[in-house]
A = this chain, B = another copy of it.
Amino acid sequence: MEFISTPKQYIDAVEDAAASVGKSVSFRGTVHRVRDMSDFAFVVVRVNRGLIQCMFSGEIDGMTKADIKDGMVVEVSGNVREEPRAEHGFEVVLTSVRILSRPAEQIPVPLGKKYLGMTLDAELPLRPITLRHPRKQAIFRIQAAIADGFAEYMISQGFTHIHTPKIVSAGAEGGANIFKLDYFGQQAYLAQSPQFYKQYTAGIFGRVFEIGNVYRAERHNTSRHLNEYIGLDFEMAYIDSMYDVMEMETGMLKYVIEYVQKHCKEELEMLGSKLPVIDKIPTVTFTEAKEIMLEKFGHKSKNRYDLNPDEEVMMCQWAEETYGSEFVFVTHFPSAKRPFYAMDDAENPKFALSFDLLFRGLEITTGGQRIHDYHEQVKKLEDRKMDVSLFESFLIMHKYGMPPHGGLGIGLERLTMQLLGQKNIREASMFPRDMTRLEP
């Protein structure tokens, strides 16, 4: 019989070593790169967050520099001294090296180089090892910070964190783009969004958010779509209008940008990424957007229901040039192409109280006000020739009273991609799922 109590304090080796100039330190990490300098070798050790330059000379613990290989996992001790040419301004003169684990084979990718320099097709099957590259790590530490900052802001605004099922009995977003599975003999689907559950819980907790997996069985292979992605979703009750939702998103984005700036300074520098400044975001209606594109760019839109990708780029260019904003809201999309739960504009029911947020030329959010009145929701289902009986479970909340409410969904990978200026969404997904990729 023994007892287990609190964990050993976590050591961030880079900071810890940097603060120990003139003293000795011990830490664990993986040999990232060995550079032989004839008299000695630089052994760069990758710790949990960052790289530490160590100097190996002579014989240490029965080994010479030739015994140290990339990919070995080591525990080292040494004396810290200033070295302005090293990445962090110091290096560790090794006095002890213990090997904790050895690779079976030499790693086939150039982790030690500044850039990995591989095509996506070559890299993706090797992601469990290519992501060890500092520049790749940086992307996903920033992505983690985006989601963590989102959660922290939502909690600060009185939102309750929900965790909802992804195996569902019906698709919320319509269409055939849905994965099917057999659920103990019943036909089931993978959720296209947490829409129904966000609405249920907005009627329960008032304000809710979720960070969860979302599924779209879309048969296209583009640089901006994934078949499984992470949705940042929120829904809020007792709103005046969809503008409350847009204001909440603006506040959230400001907070997330600050959070990432604070927690991922080194990662942003490494990637050379410039975060946007958000003050206030210009907002135009769908109809105004089409007019602006005609006037400013001589662009005659052929898409009466949505914005095409090139139009998203145009509207962002307009917002940037006119208002210095990298973001622009487009509101009042044609109702016909918005989902059945979207509330129509009472003044002009051909348009829905629904919006997109565009950022650096790409839609990153769809949101809007939802129908809360039971009769209005039933009528919209009927008008669309949908089978109301299939929505019995969904309509319970409306039947017994729902507050006016609205919300939105943001694709985490898209937001990451746009913040970091990546060209392909697979760069912003650790283990992407597309039409041809099911592993790793």
A residues contacting B by CB (< 8 A) are 1-8, 10, 12, 28-30, 47-49, 71-73, 100-108, 125-129, 131-132, 137, 140-141, 143-144, 147-148, 151, 155, 157-158, 160-170, 179-184, 186, 188, 190, 196-197, 200-201, 203-207, 211-213, 215, 217, 219, 227-228, 230, 237-238, 243-244, 246-248, 250-251, 254, 279-284, 288, 329, 372-375, 393-394, 396-404, 412, 430-431, 433, 435-436, 438-440
Q: Which B residues lie within 8 Å of A403 (CB)?
A: 28, 30, 73, 100-101
Contact of B28 with A137 in the complex, beta carbons under 8 Å? no
Q: How far is the CA of A29 from the CA of B403 in the complex (A)?
A: 8
Given contacts A100-B404, A157-B7, contact A439 B375 (CB under 8 A): no
Contact of B101 with A219 in the complex, beta carbons under 8 Å? no
Contact of B101 with A402 in the complex, beta carbons under 8 Å? yes
What are 10 sample pairs from A and B whose C-beta atoms fall under 8 A apart? A1-B283, A6-B247, A72-B401, A73-B401, A73-B403, A126-B396, A140-B160, A167-B215, A184-B435, A201-B430
Q: How far is the CA of A137 from the CA of B205 in the complex (A)?
A: 7
Contact of B4 with A438 in the complex, beta carbons under 8 Å? no
Q: Point out which of A105, A179, A404, A439 has the most chain B C-beta atoms below 10 A from its C-beta.
A: A439
Contact of B100 with A8 in the complex, beta carbons under 8 Å? no
Chain B nearest CB, measured from A103 CB (Å): 3
When all copies of this chain in the complex are counted, the total is: 2
Contact of B438 with A169 in the complex, beta carbons under 8 Å? yes
Chain B nearest CB, measured from A256 CB (Å): 13
Given contacts A164-B430, A181-B190, A393-B439, contact A374 B6 (CB under 8 A): no
Q: How far is the CA of A408 from the CA of B322 in the complex (A)?
A: 52
Contact of B162 with A144 in the complex, beta carbons under 8 Å? yes
Q: Which B residues lie within 8 Å of A230 (CB)?
A: 163
Contact of B248 with A7 in the complex, beta carbons under 8 Å? yes
Q: Point out which of A215, A398, A433 has the most chain B C-beta atoms below 10 A from its C-beta.
A: A433
Q: How far is the CA of A28 from the CA of B398 in the complex (A)?
A: 18
Contact of B431 with A197 in the complex, beta carbons under 8 Å? yes
Q: How far is the CA of A179 from the CA of B280 in the complex (A)?
A: 46
Chain B nearest CB, measured from A341 CB (Å): 14
Contact of A12 with B158 in the complex, beta carbons under 8 Å? yes
Contact of A163 with B396 in the complex, beta carbons under 8 Å? no
Q: Which B residues lie within 8 Å of A201 (CB)?
A: 131, 430
In the complex, the chain B residue whose C-beta lies closest to that of A285 is: B1
Contact of B279 with A404 in the complex, beta carbons under 8 Å? no
Chain B nearest CB, measured from A214 CB (Å): 10
Shortest beta-carbon contacts, A-B, top 5:
A103-B401, A48-B206, A71-B401, A104-B374, A5-B280
